[in-house]
């Protein structure tokens, strides 16, 4: 009974110590407490390694940054967005940000933990995306990284799969480290394979919209972006939809959010 009590106490302690909000409150109003058990340094390291492997594979296929003008456009937009991340979390301004474009028909983009951005040419070309629309989607992806949604999902997966086993090892001073690494590896797979939760998507919509507005990009473009995505899905759903579910409700919410951040957009336009 004493051992069980210790395990339960450890579980409660980890839950309490792992709860925090990763970003500062702002116009978008995102301040949900998150469960973060795995250390950000470990998740960032895994992400950087996976990103490097992705770049190496693309290089071998001659699909990495194949169009210099396209790359410059994406990096310019991304850098304008990155310049605003300090509003939400000052430490993110010091991340080792990377922005690349892969020649691929997927209508997709992502930003891994630690600021590793990839945009597929299908997103640009198939949607005939404007700069404002690209800012909307890249801002949304950056928001996932700022909120550390990947680490949040990995932490949840770790507890679900290894919780009591790992905690028991921890309490008895056993080899908890191995279980943590297993859990982290599984979480890394989940980062790519499973969609974000509904609330995580809402948070990224809100922060992404504000981020784009602060960078001087029209917040209304988020609506036209999703409308274009919806038109694409009539034939074959874009890869983006596998991790970013779209709906009329989402477009309605974006339309409601736009007026809140429009003053930021107007102010940013005046200083450009």
Residues labelled as active-site residues: 141
Beta bridge partners of 34: 20
Q: Are 102 and 58 in contact (CB under 8 A)?
A: yes
pLDDT of residue 268: 95
φ and ψ at residue 245, rounded to 5 degrees: -60, 135
Mean pLDDT by 10 residues, the chain (272 residues): 43 50 90 83 86 95 98 98 97 97 96 96 97 98 94 75 52 45 49 65 95 98 91 65 67 93 93 70
- What are the domain boundaries of the chain? 40-149+194-271
* In contact, 168 and 229? CB cutoff 8 Å: no
User: For residue 119, how many other CB atoms are within 10 A of its CB?
Assistant: 28
Q: In the Cβ-directed half-sphere of 33, how many Cα atoms lie within 13 Å?
A: 6
Q: Return the pLDDT at 17.
A: 46
Residue 30's alpha-carbon distances to 21, 95, 210, in angstroms, are 9, 21, 11
State the residue for tokens 């928001």: 143
pLDDT digits (tens, 9 = 90+) for 13-34: 444 445 678 999 899 889 888 8
DSSP state of 64: B
Provide the pLDDT for residue 35: 80
State the pLDDT at residue 272. 63
Strands 98-102 and 19-20: unpaired
Q: What is the pLDDT of residue 136?
A: 97
For residue 3, what pLDDT is reported?
A: 47
């Amino acid at each position: 009974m004493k051992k069980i009590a210790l395990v339960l106490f450890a579980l409660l302690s980890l839950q309490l110590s792992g709860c925090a909000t990763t970003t500062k409150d702002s116009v978008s109003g995102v301040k949900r407490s998150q469960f973060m058990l795995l250390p950000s340094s470990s998740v960032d390291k895994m992400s950087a390694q996976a990103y490097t492997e992705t770049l190496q594979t693309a290089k071998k296929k001659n699909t990495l940054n194949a169009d210099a003008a396209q790359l410059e456009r994406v990096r310019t937009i991304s850098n304008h967005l990155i310049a605003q991340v300090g509003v939400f979390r000052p430490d993110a301004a010091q991340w080792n940000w990377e922005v690349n474009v892969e020649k691929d028909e997927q209508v997709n983009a992502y930003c891994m933990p630690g600021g590793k951005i990839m945009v597929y040419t299908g997103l640009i070309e198939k949607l005939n995306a404007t700069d404002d629309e690209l800012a909307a989607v890249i801002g949304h992806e950056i928001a996932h990284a700022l909120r550390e949604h990947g680490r949040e999902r990995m932490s949840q997966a770790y507890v679900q799969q290894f919780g009591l086993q790992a905690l028991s090892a921890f309490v008895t001073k056993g080899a908890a480290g191995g279980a943590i690494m297993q859990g982290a590896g599984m979480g890394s797979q989940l980062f790519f394979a499973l969609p974000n939760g509904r609330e995580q998507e809402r948070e990224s919509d809100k922060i992404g919209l504000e981020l784009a507005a602060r960078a001087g990009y029209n917040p209304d473009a988020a609506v036209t972006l999703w409308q274009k995505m919806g038109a694409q899905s009539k034939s074959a759903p874009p890869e983006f939809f596998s991790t970013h579910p779209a709906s009329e409700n989402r477009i309605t919410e974006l339309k409601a959010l736009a007026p809140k951040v429009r003053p930021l957009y107007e102010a940013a336009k005046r200083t450009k």
